[in-house]
């Protein structure tokens, strides 16, 4: 931790879970972010798959500054600029694009590019990265893949995303190489569209309590 407080990656590690959020506009973004915060998880990765993503990030960054907001599904250098200008404090990509990573590094914003193979990981290390997103985690081998990749690449931290749920969350978080796990079960799209903030908060609190059992057991 620096004298100025925890870094973004340290905040993600402390959260242990990164909610992957799909919203259509700023109001949905604010509703989700507030529900996550109220559930004890002030982190949101807003995917850049919708036209309203940038507006949602901007609204969260402006109105809920205690929520660590990032942008997901960032696949071009232009999107890096757009997301950061909107207020994203970290970036996530489904794959590894050197131009995207370099642009993020140029402007000093942490990025977690997706990797699925040893070659992807080597490319990430060549770019100076110390943490990556394992995606799609359930397809490439789940917790077993993290363990297998950790042997030849000690020190690299993973954020498994894709198929992570309350049922297998602890299988990932129990692994030393896992920084945090990304998931969307607590922010299910149907709940967001229905504005069921109470259920999102309940699921979030449940996820936080689940993750905390590992800390308690290890204490």
Q: How far apart are CA 116 and CA 127, in angstroms?
A: 16
Active-site position among 45, 85, 106, 206: 45
Q: Which of 55, 50, 54 is nearest to 24 (CA)?
A: 50
Write down the catalytic residue from 133, 206, 209, 217: 133
Distance CA 67, CA 34 (A): 8
CA 35, 175, 102, 51 torsion-angle sign: negative
Q: Collapsing DSSP states into helix, strand and coil, what is residue 109?
A: coil
Query: DSSP states of 182-206 as a string?
Result: EE-GGG-HHHHHHT-HHHHHHHHHH
Contacts of residue 209, defined as CB under 8 A and 6 or more positions apart, other chains included, come to: none
Active site residue 133: yes
Query: If we measure between CA atoms, which residue out of 5, 2, 33, 9 comes closest to residue 19?
Result: 33
Task: Give the phi and the psi of residue 58 in degrees, each rounded to 5.
Answer: -60, -45
Residues annotated catalytic, as ranges? 45, 133
């Amino acid at each position: 931790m620096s004298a100025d407080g925890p870094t973004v990656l340290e905040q993600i590690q402390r959260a242990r879970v990164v909610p992957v959020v799909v919203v259509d506009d700023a109001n949905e973004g604010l509703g989700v972010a507030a529900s996550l915060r109220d559930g004890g998880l002030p982190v949101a990765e807003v995917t850049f798959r919708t036209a309203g993503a940038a507006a949602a990030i901007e609204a969260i960054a402006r109105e809920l500054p205690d929520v660590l907001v990032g942008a997901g599904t960032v696949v071009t250098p232009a999107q890096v600029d757009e997301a950061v200008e909107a207020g994203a404090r970290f970036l996530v990509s489904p794959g590894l694009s050197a131009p995207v990573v370099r642009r993020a590094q140029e402007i000093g914003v942490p990025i977690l590019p997706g990797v699925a193979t040893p070659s992807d990981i080597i490319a990430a290390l060549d770019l100076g990265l110390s943490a990556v997103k394992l995606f799609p985690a359930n397809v490439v081998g789940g917790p077993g893949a993290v363990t297998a990749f950790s042997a030849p690449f000690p020190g690299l931290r993973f954020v498994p995303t894709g198929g992570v749920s309350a049922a297998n969350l602890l299988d990932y978080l129990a692994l030393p190489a896992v920084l945090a796990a990304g998931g969307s079960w607590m922010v299910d799209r149907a709940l967001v569209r229905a504005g069921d903030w109470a259920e999102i908060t309940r699921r979030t609190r449940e996820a936080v309590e689940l993750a905390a059992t590992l800390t308690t057991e290890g204490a």
